[in-house]
Amino acid sequence: MKPVIKHVSFGMIIVDDHTYEEDLLIRSSGKIEKRKKRLSKEIYGTSHKMSLDEARFIYEEGVEKLIIGSGHHGYLELSDDAKNLFKEHGIEVTLMETPEAVDAFNATSEKCIGLFHITC
C-alpha cells in the first residue's frame, strides 16, 4: 500500500506515523529509503543537482511517474543526464517545491516514485 505523507515542514517529513529528518525516496512498492544524495554530491559538490548515478539508483522498471520535491525553495534540479535517463525509460518527471510535490504524490494513483528534499 502506498504510504501517505501527512505533513512536511523545513527539515521534517511525516510519512504514515513515522517522522523523518532526512531526504526520502519512496519506492513504488511503498518502501521508504534515505535519499542517496552522496551519489550527486560526489560529482557536483552539492546534493542540489541530481547526477546520473543517483538517477540510476532511483530508477525502477515499470514506473510511470517520478514526483520530486525540490525543496522548500526549489533548489534541487536534475542534470541533463538524469533527465535523459528518465525520458529514455518513459518516466514522467514532475519537479516542484516539496509542499506541492507532497500533495501531488498523495493524490496520484499512478505507479509512482517520490523523492523529497526537505530543506532548501
Domains in the chain with CATH codes:
5-116 (3.40.1230.10)
What are the grid coordinates assigned to 68, written together? 520530486
For residue range 79-95, list pLDDT tens digits in order: 999 999 999 999 999 99
**Quick one: pLDDT band at residue 58, thresholds 50, 70, 90?**
very high
Instruction: Give the DSSP per-residue string, 29-86.
Output: TS-EEE--THHHHHHHSSSSEE-HHHHHHH--TT--EEEEE-TTTT--EE-HHHHHHH
Note the pLDDT of residue 99.
Answer: 98
1 band by pLDDT with thresholds 50, 70 and 90:
confident
Q: How far apart are CA 97 and CA 101, in angstroms?
A: 6
pLDDT at 60 over 90: yes
Q: Which of 27, 39, 25 shows the shortest CA–CA distance to 79?
A: 39
